Structure 1
Amino acid sequence: MEIKKGMSVLELIQEMGGSGVLGAGRVYRATELLAEVIKDEDTAVFLSVAGPLVPGGLRKIIRNMIKDGEVDVLITSGANITHDLLEAFGGRHHRGIEEDDETMCEHGMGRIADLYTKSEDFEVFETEIAKILADIAAKDDHLSIREFLTLIGSSLDDDESILKTAADNNVPIYAPGFIDSMLGLQLWMFTQDTKLHIDASGDMAELSDIVYDSKKVATMILGGGLPKHYALASNLLKGGVDAAIQITMDRSETGSLGGAPLEEAKSWAKAKAGSKLVTVVGDATIIFPLILAGAKEMNQRSME
């Protein structure tokens, strides 16, 4: 590889493309595949987001992809939804606080690696989400998870919010495990005195319709876990996805889903025979912005 003064992101990635099957070469192949799927109008793009990627800095990137029509379905964890709402309600994710964890707990702070949240932000979150839940319950007391998240997004006043942008652009958000989050805890507490019911299986028919109505499906998988499996398994009845990119830090030896190579999905008919698959091992907060910037530049150049 050669580094030149003033080179663009794409030019750097193209230099990486000559390094074979090592990490740099995988970054190039992932960039090429991402550029292909986001410009293909016949391909529905499922973005799967696990881990704390909203506090990790990807909130605006995901929001802009939704606004720009580069994502057709978002599948994510309850944690990312909660942290999106935390910022939508005026809270922040903080850096640069150097205290031990026991002292942070005493001061009302929670730590995510080198990021921190404050209890006062979650107090505002609890107050605001309780108002939204009450408004939702007054209109409808039986909803699917997707319907529930769409209604929350429609009630927000933050144009930078992932939930609001998705609701405004009719992009469905699926979060099958969202109950395992602060939002899920607040929902459980709210339902103790109300008839509001969230149907965990209610999304399956709608998601299956999206799969069957799409000529092709590509998944962009950031991390692993439940969002990854939901994105792949939803395509099982149609023989699997046509293309997939996975960015993960997990290893394959333990048999974990997060570390499973995408080729393994072919044995389950979650990825089609002949599907285009690229796995990049690394931190999604570093690699995904890089390949997305490269893919956008690649598509822009192809139009010039």
Structure 2
Amino acid sequence: MTTKGPVSQFMDHHYRHFNAAAMMDATKAYEAHIASGGKMMVTLAGAMSTAELGLSLAEMIRNGKVHAISCTGANLEEDIYNLVAHEHYERIPDWRALTKEAEQDLYDRHLNRVTDTCIPEEAAMRKIWAVMANEWAEAEAKGERCFPHEFFYRALLKGKFKNDYQIDPKNSWMLAAAEKNIPMVVPGWEDSTLGNMYASFCMRGEVKNVHTVRTGIEYMTSLAEWYMKTAETSSIGFFQIGGGIAGDFPICVVPMIRQDLEKDDIRLWGYFCQISDSTTSYGSYSGAVPNEKITWGKLSKETPSFIVESDATIVAPLMFAHILGW
């Protein structure tokens, strides 16, 4: 067995109780799941790409520790924003003290704030839009239809962004996913910045066929097909970062297959972990404890299940570091 690195050794020695212990239990169960031949879906909510999760997630993908991804449209595009415009980002350390006037100033400077980090509209968004608009036009001219992530995969693999890289490309999880052709679902893509732009293109007639970009139901059916095929030989785990649609959408594929397709012999999810700061409360799905999912036919009473109630920007890189043996 390979000796773990200093970060992992520190974690093993110090993280023994409470949320730290829950994190370690979940980490070691993740490792055991993969070691036994299991596959893992990772779901990304919030602004994890802007938090530069790619620094560890890309390595997880390259090392075969992640086999499918569900993410918001924001996380999809924001990893590319960071890839091509990192030098133009601005950090606001005292963001809690910003006045409305200071926020207006950021807007006037075309800086869109995510907590303490401002995404530069001109350097990031408009640069991406030009490339993607060309990809949509090319696909439409050929009568092709692709998912949002597939358009990004195409552009990345064709080197459309290469001349604009401002970080080491090994730290882009989207590039790693494209190179591995990781299966992906992007539920609710329409509410992302790029999804909004696509809607405007359709309304202006610059895109004639609204269905050039595949979304929604087709994502669910493609996920079901991947799950059924993969489940023939492997248990599939579910590692959820945050809450929201990135997690809610894909976890439902199992009861959909079992109850609606009436394939009740399909495996349930074989591992579950959620990193969440959502308060467990009445009716909060994001804050629901894992056991609630048993009642919905998503997990079994035997499924190793964990919830780490903490900040994902701290916990996820630590867990990934341990899984990678750093």
Q: With the length of structure 1 as denominator, give the TM-score of the two structures.
A: 0.86
2:6 to 5, 8, 23: 8
For the aligned residue pairs, the C-alpha RMSD in angstroms reads 2.3
Of residues 56-65 and 76-85 in structure 1, the stretch that sits farther from structure 2 once superposed is 56-65
Question: CA 1:18 to 1:146, structure 2 compared with 1: closer, same or farther past 3 Å?
Answer: closer
Q: In the aligned structure 1, how far is the partner of 2:275 from the partner of 2:246?
A: 13
Pair 1:40 & 2:56 matched:
no
Question: What secondary structure does 2:290 align onto?
Answer: coil
1:257 shift after superposition: 1.9
Matched, 1:62 2:57: yes
Equivalent of 1:114 in 92, 113, 116: 116
Q: Structure 2 CA distance, aligned partners of 1:276 and 1:231?
A: 18
Instruction: Give the aligned residue type for 1:93.
Output: Y
Give the letter aligned to residue 139 of structure 1.
K
Per-residue CA shift, 1:269-293, capped at 9, x if unaligned?
1112210011101111101111121
Paired position in structure 1 for 2:268: 240
SS in 2 for 1:245: strand
Residue 211 in structure 1 maps to residue 230 in structure 2 = no
**1:207-250 deviation digits (Å, cap 9, x = unpaired):** 11222222211011100111111231112223531111110110
Q: 1:152 to 1:189 in 2, by over 3 A?
A: farther
In structure 1, distance between residues paired with 2:89 and 2:288: 31
Gaps of 5+ in 1: 1-6
Partner-residue secondary structure (3-state), 1:247:
strand
Q: How many residues align?
A: 289
1:190-269 equivalence runs, <5 A: 190-192=201-203, 193=205, 194-197=208-211, 198-199=213-214, 200-213=216-229, 214=231, 215-236=234-255, 237=258, 238=266, 240-269=268-297
Q: Deviations over 1:142-194 (max 9, x none)?
A: 33455445444444444444333322212112101111111101221233322
Question: Is 1:188 the counterpart of 2:199 in the alignment?
Answer: yes
Tell me, in whole angstroms, the C-alpha distance in 1 between the residues paired with 2:307 and 2:115. Answer: 24
SS of the residue 1:14 aligns to? helix
Change (3 A) 1:33 1:82: same
Quick one: distance in 1 between partners of 2:274 and 2:14? 18
Between 160-169 and 273-282, report the one with greater CA deviation: 160-169
Which moved further from structure 2: 148-157 or 116-125? 148-157
Which 10-residue stretch deviates more, 135-144 or 270-279?
Answer: 135-144
Q: Deviations over 1:113-148 (max 9, x none)?
A: 110112212222222222222223223343345544
- Give the Cα separation in 2 of the matches to 1:230 and 1:16: 35
Q: Flag the 1:97–1:11 CA change in 2: closer, same or farther, 3 A.
A: closer
Q: 1:85 offset after TM fit, Å?
A: 2.5
Q: CA–CA distance in 2 between the matches of 1:97 and 1:278?
A: 32
Deviates more, 1:157-166 or 1:216-225: 157-166
Aligned pairs (5 A) from 1:96-111? 96=92, 100-111=102-113
Higher strand content, 1 or 2: 1
> Is there any run of 5+ residues in structure 2 with no aligned partner, and where?
163-168, 259-265
Task: Note the alpha carbon deviations across 1:75-127, whole angstroms, 9 max, x for none.
Answer: 00011112122234445533247762121112221111110112212222222
Query: What's the counterpart of residue 3 of structure 1?
Result: none
Question: Does the Cα contact within 8 Å between 1:250 and 1:258 map onto a contact in 2?
Answer: yes
Distance 1:296 1:65, change over 3 A: closer
Please give the secondary structure, in 2, of the residue aligned with 1:61: helix
Q: 1:166 aligns with which of 164, 177, 183?
A: 177
